[in-house]
Amino acid sequence: MNPHEQFREEVSQNIEGLQQDKKLQSESLDWVGVTAKHKYTYNFSWMGRPIIQFPQDMVAMQEIIWDLRPDVIVETGIAHGGSLVFYASMLELIGHGEVLGVDIDIRQHNREAIEAHPMARRISMIQGSSIDPAIVDEVRARVAGKKVLVVLDSNHTHEHVLEELRLYAPLVSLGSYCVVMDTVVEDMPQDAFPDRPWGKGDNPKTAVWAYLEENRDFEIDARIHSKLLITVAPDGYLRRVR
């Protein structure tokens, strides 16, 4: 075994250890809950744009993008555009690919900032509901025949995310991922989202569980959220296996 293989084997063993450490997993989730009260994820930006994600999840996405080298990354939910810019910058480093963002309301100031960004040449945006049949048809036409990675990060209700999964997961290439963000909502206190239409029992994680009951093409890649510990997407990294 050469040094690179030895290191990879050590990392694999580390991850297996983390998977077995239920106390550490629980403490990590407690940390997520406490920092959420301070809007911790709002603290970070990528190349000047707010990203509103844990850095750990962005590192995981970088690993996926580097390994897969997708032709297209489709993301539902744009907000300030930081994640679009992040994905575009990863593709720029690879020298290949584009990002397609979908949002029901792309604020003008955000659109202008994204379109003026150095990574803009790898970014396209579509305004409209991610579950509108016309929008889905447009996305489907633009990704046809390409290697596709999907990220779902828009409306977080069970009904909406489940419909997104039914519409967008089939676009994902074999071996690629459909990443469902904010599944951690299910693990938060009952009163954590008093001003939102989602919460415990009605959120992206419950949608993931329901989708996996009706579709066997995807499996949860538990090693990703196990190694991250700090993540908004436990059970949300779905790898297409057939």
pLDDT per position in the chain (242 positions), as tens? 899 999 999 999 999 999 999 999 999 999 999 999 999 999 999 999 999 999 999 999 999 999 999 999 999 999 999 999 999 999 999 999 999 999 999 999 999 999 999 999 999 999 999 999 999 999 999 999 999 999 999 999 999 999 999 999 999 999 999 999 999 999 988 878 888 899 999 999 999 999 999 999 999 999 999 999 999 999 999 999 99
Q: How many domains does the chain have?
A: 1
pTM > 0.85: yes
Bridge partner list, 76: 102, 152
The domain in which residue 78 lies consists of: 3-240
- The C-alpha atoms of residue 25 and residue 18 are separated, in whole angstroms, by 8
The domain that contains 155 carries what CATH number? 3.40.50.150
Bridge partner list, 100: 74, 124
Bridge partner list, 124: 100
- The C-alpha atoms of residue 88 and residue 121 are separated, in whole angstroms, by 9
